[in-house]
Structure 1
Amino acid sequence: MSEDPYFLIRRSNLPEVIQKTTLVTELLTRRRDMSVLEAVRAIGLSRSAYYKYKDTVRPFSEAMSGKIVTIALTLEHKPGVLSTVLNTVAAKHGNILTINQSLPLQGIATVILSVDTHTLDATLDDLLQILREVAGVSQVVMVGQGS
């Protein structure tokens, strides 16, 4: 067993200083023009607290970045839906390694994508949410990950 194991825990169960650290990190990710000082002030956290914890706490989806993930999608059988999904992944710099699509039954097809996230310019959670918003996509689930 590892001497310093990892744990999965909901952000709401973390101490306030750790919650704020994650919020500062998210803010800096979204607003690349913002300085650390501006971000910690906006969230209400000291710079020293941020620097103390910033490298030790991160979202689960971020831990999956730089990995190969498998995503299952349920798509309506309409022209352009799969193309829009693939273009959406490409626009976020995800590298699609494999595509498997079932034959459509009752107007619905299942697509399984293997995506290399090494060059992804969004978080995995953000990519999954963007895919959920594509017209014709009814379900998006990350079903696995590898290195």
Structure 2
Amino acid sequence: MVAELDEKFFLVRSDVLPESMQKTLEVKELLERGKVTSINEAVQKVDLSRSAFYKYRDAVFPFQAMVKERMITLFFHLEDRAGTLSKLLAIVANAGCNVLTIHQTIPLQGKANVTLSINTSLMNIDIEELIQRLNKLDFVIRVEILSSGA
């Protein structure tokens, strides 16, 4: 009988990943984009051993790859102004996301919290780009990713 793996996942900044993991991600990107025709060509191009690539290839993924075809929940702390929710939703819709749930608190002292659950399976930009666009809105105080899951 094979024991089930108790897998745990962590979100880690790229600058703290070991070089071999970063290079594994580079190899995967080269292959995905068709910039190389084989794993051997890709590992040579980024100066990574084949054994290191095979060791990490199924264990390290770019964040955007993990949220594709998934639901994510975003938390917003907003200034209470007319039209803020519609502007926020327009950016989410333009990114190709489908809004699943919306929860907004009653504004207190000119501030409100909004929680959005969105389906990202048809998203046409990276999650990082979406967060950047949302953060650029002058009424957004803070945006956080609360959860990501299937």
With the length of structure 2 as denominator, give the TM-score of the two structures: 0.70
Say yes or no: does 1:101 pair with 2:104.
yes
CA displacement at 1:9 relative to structure 2: 6.5
1:83 aligns to what? 86
Q: Give, in whole Å, the separation in 1 of the partners of 2:46 and 2:16.
A: 18
Larger radius of gyration: 2
1:14 aligns to what? 17
Letter in 2 for 1:107: G
Q: Give, in whole Å, the separation in 2 of the partners of 1:24 and 1:78.
A: 46
CA displacement at 1:19 relative to structure 2: 0.8
1:36 aligns to what? 35
Does 108-117 or 124-133 show the bigger shift? 124-133
2:60 aligns to what? 57
Does 9-18 or 127-136 show the bigger shift? 9-18
Of 133, 136, 139, the residue aligned with 1:133 is 136
Asked if structure 2 preserves the Cα contact closer than 8 Å seen for 1:76 and 1:107, the reply is: yes
Change (3 A) 1:100 1:5: closer
Change (3 A) 1:20 1:64: same
Unaligned runs of 5+ in 2: none
Deviations along 1:40-81, whole A, 9 cap, x unmatched? 99xx616996x8666652124531221111111111111222
Asked if structure 1 preserves the Cα contact closer than 8 Å seen for 2:100 and 2:119, the reply is: yes
Matched position secondary structure for 2:46: coil
1:45 aligns to what? 46
Q: Give, in whole Å, the separation in 1 of the partners of 2:101 and 2:138.
A: 22
Say yes or no: does 1:144 pair with 2:147.
yes
CA displacement at 1:27 relative to structure 2: 8.7
Q: Give, in whole Å, the separation in 1 of the partners of 2:31 and 2:138.
A: 30
Unaligned runs of 5+ in 1: none
Change (3 A) 1:122 1:79: same
Say yes or no: does 1:71 pair with 2:74.
yes
Q: Give, in whole Å, the separation in 2 of the partners of 1:100 and 1:65.
A: 23
